[in-house]
Structure 1
């Protein structure tokens, strides 16, 4: 690696997957909530689902599960940390610890 070449972490497919997963607010919130709680129930099957819930069920939870960041029981609606959660948790902690240094605010 030369001085002009980025470290491997910048060009890895794992980093691409992580950035894709973290690109949507709904997924970031689920992953962050799992830092605090071992088990989540984003919605109950009997709840009337709105468009946000439908998107969560059909897009966001499957993507998080495919990446290995969550284990999702579709029958109960339960979401828990998946086998690759440590990978994303490290990044979430980094963001949380340096939030005041980031160039974003809650309203952007």
Structure 2
């Protein structure tokens, strides 16, 4: 993995909202989809937070190739590059502490 790949992985994991989405996708079969409204992101569903998901978190993960996001159906699936981030997401799951959720 080159430096830019490492940068995108660590940037994707920098926000707790993105980590929670990636953890949720890790727990699903690669062929399953996650309906956005049903994802346990551990956030209140305030208007501002939903706007950040739609305009910051989801586009960023999609740009990096870690997810595919169907805006019409509001569904997320694992992207072509999910396998690059998967080992770190698994590590986070194994050692999950309250610190990771902030």
Query: Structure 1: which 4+ aligned runs deviate by more than 2 Å?
Result: 94-97
> TM-score under structure 2 normalisation?
0.78
Deviations 1:3-33 (A, max 9, x none): xxxxxx6x71111111111000000000000
Query: Partner of 2:18 in structure 1?
Result: 27
Query: Partner of 2:3 in structure 1?
Result: 12
Q: Which runs of 5+ in 2 are unaligned?
A: 39-44
Q: CA RMSD in A?
A: 2.2
Greater per-residue helix proportion: 2
**Cα drift, residue 96 of structure 1:** 2.5
Q: Distance in 1 between matches of 2:16 and 2:46?
A: 19
1:106 corresponds to 2:78: no
Q: How many residues align?
A: 91
Q: Distance in 1 between matches of 2:37 and 2:79?
A: 19
